[in-house]
């Protein structure tokens, strides 16, 4: 997987799952950066885009060829006027899976993610027949 940092979502804005935020990747430069495991790549006009390349081992493939993978992120903050101001929770990231075969890099379709959107989701699941535990 490769995660490109596209923008910092303003506090007044709401992240919308499935929306096309219109950030265009430079495919040739992105592929070169993936192969070099770089943390940044440059557009031909000099624009800079930060990124993270995360290799997913084939042992993470299930019998149904689904990837079971998680990427931890530290929620960084700065203290402003005595309050914690989380700096990376509002990042809009463009996540793209890739496959390297020999010298060729194939990119998948991309999706946008936002850490604050993921953090706000109720990840607990209800399992039929299980009793809810209350503290």
Q: Tens place of pLDDT for every residue, the chain, 135 residues? A: 888 888 888 878 888 888 888 888 888 888 888 888 777 777 666 778 888 887 777 666 666 666 556 666 667 778 889 887 777 888 898 988 888 888 899 999 999 988 877 767 776 666 666 555 555
* pLDDT value at residue 85: 76
Q: Going by C-beta distance under 8 Å and a sequence separation of 6 or more, which residues neighbour residue 133? A: none
Contact 14, 29 (CB under 8 A): no
Phi/psi of residue 117, nearest 5 degrees: -65, -45
pLDDT for 89 equals 80
Question: Bridge partners of 78?
Answer: 85
pTM for this one? 0.72
Instruction: Mention every residue, 6+ apart, whose C-beta is less than 8 A from residue 35.
Output: 100, 105
């Amino acid at each position: 997987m490769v995660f490109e940092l596209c923008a910092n979502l303003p506090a007044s804005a709401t992240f919308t799952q499935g929306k096309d935020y219109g950030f265009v990747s430079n495919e040739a430069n992105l592929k070169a950066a993936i192969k070099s495991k770089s943390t940044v790549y440059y557009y031909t006009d000099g624009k800079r885009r930060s990124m993270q390349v995360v290799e997913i081992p084939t042992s993470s493939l299930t019998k149904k060829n689904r990837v079971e993978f998680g990427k931890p992120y530290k929620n960084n903050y700065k203290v402003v006027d005595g309050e914690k101001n989380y700096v990376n929770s509002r990042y809009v990231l463009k996540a793209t899976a890739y496959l390297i075969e020999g010298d060729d890099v194939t990119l998948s379709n991309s999706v946008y993610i936002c850490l604050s959107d993921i953090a706000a989701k109720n990840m607990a699941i209800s399992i039929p027949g299980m009793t809810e535990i209350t503290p």
